[in-house]
Amino acid sequence: MIQPWFEVLRGCGPDVVELIHDRQPTVCVGDAAFAYVGAYTAHASVGFFHGADLDDPAGLLQGTGKRMRHVKLHWGQAHDAAALTALIAAAYRDIRRRLQN
């Protein structure tokens, strides 16, 4: 379930690199991480390091931290693929903007 989302993250742009950070597959632009994927017993997640700053009209993002947010994907349940794809694209644009400033 999580592999397709990691492929979407990898495909954001030619400057995307991947690494393992805190035991999670993570995508970065240069040294700046913008998202990760995680597979757990009860669910999977796509997390965003600056998720609190992302526009989320579908209300997918969860979490209350200062910066990070995640989208939980539950095994066997449908999820809003278009909205999650839009969040991934927004996170990529956001990290590129941050790196330009």
pLDDT score of 55 more than 90: yes
* pTM to 2 decimal places: 0.94
pLDDT score of 44 more than 90: yes
Provide mean pLDDT across the span 20-27. Answer: 91
Provide mean pLDDT across the span 48-62. Answer: 97
Domain at 3-94: CATH code: 3.90.1150
Angle at alpha carbon of residue 25, lines to 71 and 23, rounded to 5°: 100
Query: Which pLDDT does position 83 carry in this prediction?
Result: 97
Q: Where in the chain are the domains?
A: 3-94
Instruction: Give CA–CA dist 35/13, Å, rounded.
Output: 13
Q: What would the two tokens of residue 92 be?
A: 């990529």
